[in-house]
Amino acid sequence: MHADLGILRGQLEAIVGGAQVAAGIDQTALFAVDGVIPELVVRPGTQEEVAQVVATCYAAGAAMLPWGGGTAMGLGNPPPRVEVMIHLDRLDRIVEWDPANLCVTAEAGLRLGALQEILARDKAILPLDPPASHRLTLGGLVAANQSGPGRLLYGTVRDWLLGMRVVLPDGERIHCGGRVIKNVSGYDMNKLFIRSLGTLGIVTEVTFKLLPMPTVRAGVMGLFPELTQAWTAVKQALESFLLPEALDFLNPAAVTLLAPALGFQATAGSCGLAVALAGSPETVERQVHDFTALFRDGGGTVIPLPTERTSQAWEAIRNLLERASASNPARILCKIAVPIGRTGDLVAAAGRVGQNCGLQATVVAHAGSGVIWALYLPGSEVVPEERVVQALEGLRGKAVVAEGTLVLQNAPPALKRRVDAWGAPGDGFDVMRRLKLEFDPRGLCNPGRFVGGI
């Protein structure tokens, strides 16, 4: 590859213009993935240019990675090679915004936060709330299947994405789905690309269905001295008729981190439950009342998050782990997904990993969805890597026994070389491998980073 790099660079410059191709370590180092620095960074300005860039790289045998907002670049195994980083930030246009049909089409490089601002002017929302939404792009949202607390009521990307345009590894452009809310015209190709991490092509445009903005929002937070009290409250909430948008569990370390942002004093050792409520004034008021009662009766102290403070509070909760760790290269962030009823067990196990390894464990769980985020940061003592490896494998083992999985969302590359980011691929792996081989036989799209070495 190296010999032809100059030729490839010239070809790419002919497509996107010289100013949009960066080479040289001072410019490309910013785009390193797990320490691997790309040779070239290209910034196509249109979807057609993306197709030409991809086709050119494919023909040249260059390994390519898409870069959206860069918020999920830590997800996946360390790449064996990266030649061309395809930076999509110039693809940031709204293609069609149809408020009457609650449907929007936008290019993949548009930031989620920017989209939400545009939608809000017409009182609509895309009910997906991952962290770092001001940086996260729509393409990254889809390819890395990012989600947030609101998945309890609203689900994830697969529940809102109606259609997309994709550039396949050889540069061919295809269209999947459409812009109507029910569509079975052939296979559901959207599902092939959601959470595929750019290994089957590059998403260049997405169409989402939307919801009307709820009239009122509010929240309630409960602080519980005992873990079991919190999990009993979760169980009762899930068995009730109540329909919270989100129901997040926070371990004591998370409560301590959050306290300043929400302006309360955390009693040492208490864990928290935060509830987000949205809807009409009547249903929100009723739920605030019921959750307050439920938390109090369960032995909790209640901190109301009234309407005027609720969005700010949830902004803090959503971004808690990100803000506590984004600049720390030593951070280990695990996403554990288990059947809903096993969430409490795995939260406890995730906490013990911290104690056993001398790491500081901050754990937040989307309690009604079975999704747990465990952040580990180094404490005062230096821990042998071997112990961390064993502890993470042990935790993964527990998740697997509970019929779930553990994914390393972020970790130092050295650790990821010892603990696979995804865990053992399941039963369907043979089909996955053949899909990859069919669409990317040369293995050039985000190679080596995905499940089972795909």
Partner 1 sequence: MANKALVLELRQIVGRANVLDNMVNLQLYQYDAYLEEHRPDAVVFVHSTEEVAQVVQACNRHGLPFVPRGGGTNLSGGTIPFEGGVVIEMIHMNQLLEVDCSNLRARVQPGLFNLELGNALAPLGYQFLPDPASQKAATLGGNVAENSGGPHCFKYGVTTNHVLGLTVVLPDGQVVKLGGKAADPPGYDLTGLFVGSEGTFGICTEVVVKIVRLAEGVKTLLAIYDSIEAGSESVSAIVAAGMVPATLEMMDQLVIQAVEASLHCGLPLDCATVLLIEVDGLKDDLELQAKAIEDLCMAHGAREVRVAKDDAERALLWAGRRGAFGAVARLAPSFLVCDGTVPRTTLPQVLRKVAEVGRKYDLRIPNVFHAGDGNLHPLILFDWRDADQKARVLKAGMEILELCVAVGGTISGEHGVGLEKMEAMRLVLSEADLRSQRRVKQVFDPRNLANPGKIFPVPEEVLCAR
The pair phi, psi for residue 21, each rounded to 5°, is: -120, 120
Going by C-alpha positions, the residue among 295, 387, 404, 425 that lies closest to residue 344 is 404
Select from 446, 409, 325 the least CA-distant residue to 145: 409
Q: Is 182 in the site for partner 1 (CB under 8 A)?
A: yes
283 near partner 1, rule: CB under 8 A: yes
Rounded CA-CA distance 123/135 in Å is 22
CA distance linking residue 144 with residue 354, whole number of Å: 26
User: Phi/psi at 407 (nearest 5 deg)?
Assistant: -120, 135
Should residue 286 be labelled a site residue for partner 1 when binding is judged by CB under 8 A?
yes
Contacts of 25 by beta carbon, 8 Å cutoff, 6+ apart: 37
Among 2, 121, 239, 381, binds partner 1 (CB under 8 A): 239
* Shortest CB 140 distance to partner 1, Å: 16
Query: Coil, helix or strand for 180?
Result: coil
Tell whether residue 405 is a contact of partner 1 (CB under 8 A). Answer: yes
Nearest residue to 443 (alpha-carbon basis) of 46, 21, 57: 57
- Return the residues of window 415-434 that contact partner 1 according to CB under 8 A: 422-423, 425-432, 434
Query: Cβ of residue 335: shortest distance to partner 1, in angstroms?
Result: 8
Stretch near partner 1 under the rule CB under 8 A, chosen from 80-88, 106-114, 238-246, 248-256: 238-246
Which of 81, 134, 135, 235 contacts partner 1 by CB under 8 A? 235
Site string for partner 1, 136-155 (x = CB under 8 A): ---------x-x---x---x
Q: Find the shortest distance in angstroms from Cβ 190 to partner 1.
A: 8
User: Structure tokens of 174?
Assistant: 């295809």
Name the nearest CA neighbour of 103 among 161, 190, 186. Answer: 161
Q: How far is the CB of 264 from partner 1 (least distance, A)?
A: 28
Of 24, 2, 18, 89, residue with least CA distance to 50: 89
Number of residues that bind partner 1 (CB under 8 A): 89
Q: Is 100 near partner 1 (CB under 8 A)?
A: yes
For residue 123, state whether it binds partner 1 (rule: CB under 8 A): yes
Q: Which range touches partner 1 (CB under 8 A), out of 37-45, 82-90, 233-241, 349-357?
A: 233-241
Choose between 185 and 380: whose C-beta lies nearer to partner 1: 185
Q: Which 361-400 positions form the footprint of partner 1 (CB under 8 A)?
A: 369-371
Select the residue interacting with partner 1 from 2, 187, 327, 381 (CB under 8 A): 187
Q: Which of residues 434-453 bind partner 1 (CB under 8 A)?
A: 434-435, 438-439, 450-452
From residue 53 to residue 92, what is the string marking binding to partner 1 with x (rule CB under 8 A)?
----------------------------------------
| Phi–psi pair at 220, nearest 5 degrees | -140, 140
Residue from 133, 149, 152 nearest 141 by CA? 133
Shortest distance in whole angstroms from residue 24 CB to partner 1 = 35
Q: Can residue 407 be called a binding residue for partner 1 (CB under 8 A)?
A: yes
Restricted to residues 193-212, the positions that interact with partner 1 (CB under 8 A) are: 194-196, 200, 211-212
List all residues 6 or more positions away from 383 whose beta carbon is below 8 Å from its beta carbon: 357, 358, 359
Q: Which stretch binds partner 1 (CB under 8 A): 77-85, 156-164, 221-229, 325-333?
A: 156-164
The closest alpha carbon to 175, from 143, 137, 207, belongs to: 207
Question: Facing residues of 408 across strands?
Answer: 334
Does residue 447 contact residue 79 with C-beta atoms inside 8 Å?
A: yes
Give alpha helix (H) positions in 129-217.
138-143, 151-154, 190-193
Give least dist CB 172 to partner 1, A. Answer: 5
Indicate whether 172 belongs to the interface with partner 1 (CB under 8 A): yes
- When the beta carbons of 160 and 224 are compared against partner 1, the nearer one is 160
Q: Tokens for 319?
A: 């971004």
Q: Which of residues 322-351 bind partner 1 (CB under 8 A)?
A: 335, 337-342
Nearest Cα neighbor of 178 from 166, 190, 193, 195 is 190
- Cβ nearer to partner 1, comparing 121 with 182: 182
Judge whether 270 and 223 are in contact, CB under 8 Å.
yes
Identity of the residue, 38 or 344, whose beta carbon is nearer to partner 1 in the bound complex: 344
**Residue 428: what residue type?**
G
Q: How far is the CB of 135 from partner 1 (least distance, A)?
A: 21
Q: How far is the CB of 382 from partner 1 (least distance, A)?
A: 31
Is residue 134 a contact point for partner 1 (CB under 8 A)? no
